[in-house]
Structure 1
Amino acid sequence: MITIHGMADSGNCYKPRLLLSLLGRSFRHVEVSTRDGSTRTGEFLQKNPAGQCPLLELEDGRLLPESNAILAYLAEETPFLPIDPFDRAQTLRWMFFEQNAHEVSVAVRRSLTVYPERASAATPERLAQALQNGRNALGVMERHLAVEDWFGPRRPSIADIALYPYTATAPEGGFSLDEFPAVRRWLARMATLPGFRPVGWVPEAA
């Protein structure tokens, strides 16, 4: 059985868990955290020198870090990753957007707001910049979703899974989704997918 090393309350770690649930695939969750130092132990650093999670561990011992890379691997030969080269590139385009524009503002502002140990970094200037950048990113999503139902071509894909967690939890970082009705409708559509589980879900231990 494959293993996902990750934090229960991390949006990035939730992404592969959600995909596996949507695919109906069993996996083992091992809780590690960047907050308690468990990703900085010698044992974990041997698995991922970057000291970050999530980390996918395959049955044969191979290891793959980075949430969106894990999504791309797990989605191969499934409906969540298009076969057509251009459709696949469009899917990857939104995953790059998630990491380069969305996660670095929406997720970071949530982290600065939610986690007490990050309070010293939550300066008014940084919070204001993250709020502005995050609203800009949500605006890009809103304009796309005003004419399309999904970020994958014509159906849900790993691009939707990549963008879902930190959009769903954006209000925890002080973002109002009231001005983004298309985004809210998309969030509701995601929650109706067979096998959907909410942010924070982890499978019960076997």
Structure 2
Amino acid sequence: MKIYGDRNSGNCLKVKWVCDYLALPYTWIDIDIMKGESRTADFLALNPWGQVPMVVLDDGRALAQSGAIIRYLARDSDLIPRDAFAAGKMDEWLFWEQYSHEPYVAVCRYQLVYLGKDVSELDPDKVRRGYLALDRMERRLRGAQFHVEGFSLADVALLAYTRLAHQGGFDLGRYPAVRRWISDAEKCLDLPPAS
């Protein structure tokens, strides 16, 4: 399997982490989105969205979108709860991450890290909504070690950008439960603490 991705992208790291956790063999192919490498004719032939991550399976089939990829890779593993309702709650968090967390926390990080903007240039509404997402996680994690029963894909997906939220200008100092969860999730994935 080949993973086409950017090692600075949380969405791409989700795929890498799932492969590493499950000991799935892969070849990583660096794609520099800032140089337009995801917009070449060859790339677009495999992935018409022109986005990373993308995996190309050994049989040549391509799959894009981080949530779809990690859901596919983790099928029949302990990263997806066996109980149908718990699996549904995991999916609930996966969808929430893409629609209510990533568009704010990750986008602010993108603007600071990739585009070199100053914190003062961030859209105040994106910052406000990023904090609302972190507030929601804090409330959930005050009473639970992980987002659903046991470590799951929900935690992998949410960890990717939450552990780097400070790079998007967010102050994690006010979120003790989130910080504890970050540490626990990093240990599950055998990751060094985020810098």
Alignment TM class, shorter chain as reference: over 0.9
Q: Is the 8 A contact 1:12 1:165 kept in 2?
A: yes
TM-score, reference length from structure 1:
0.89
Matched, 1:177 2:176: no
Q: Could you list the runs of 5+ residues in structure 1 that have no partner in the other structure?
A: 201-206
Whole-angstrom distance in 2 between the partners of 1:123 and 1:51: 30
**Correspondences of 1:132-171 after superposition (within 5 Å):** 132-153=128-149, 155-171=150-166
Task: Return the letter of the residue paired with 2:44.
Answer: L
TM-score, reference length from structure 2:
0.94
Aligned to 1:34: 33
Q: Is the 8 A contact 1:152 1:158 kept in 2?
A: no
> Any runs of at least 4 consecutive aligned residues in structure 1 with deviations exceeding 4 A, and if so which?
none
| Deviation digits for residues 30-65 of structure 1 (CA, Å, limit 9, x no counterpart) | 011221111000000000000000001110011100
Quote how far apart the aligned CAs of 1:198 are: 4.8
Q: Is the 8 A contact 2:183 2:193 kept in 1?
A: no
Secondary structure of the residue aligned to 2:4 is strand
Q: Is the 8 A contact 1:33 1:53 kept in 2?
A: no
Secondary structure of the residue aligned to 1:64 is strand
Matched, 1:112 2:108: no
**Correspondences of 1:66-77 after superposition (within 5 Å):** 66-77=65-76
Query: Taking CA–CA contacts closer than 8 Å with sequence separation of 6 or more, which of the two structures ends up with the larger relative contact order?
Result: 1
Residue-pair matches, total: 194
State the percentage of identical aligned residues: 36
Quote how far apart the aligned CAs of 1:199 are: 8.6
Q: Could you list the runs of 5+ residues in structure 2 that have no partner in the other structure?
A: none
Task: Return the letter of the residue paired with 2:61.
Answer: R
Quote how far apart the aligned CAs of 1:112 are: 1.0
Task: Return the letter of the residue paired with 1:171.
Answer: H
| Deviation digits for residues 147-171 of structure 1 (CA, Å, limit 9, x no counterpart) | 0111132x10000000001001000
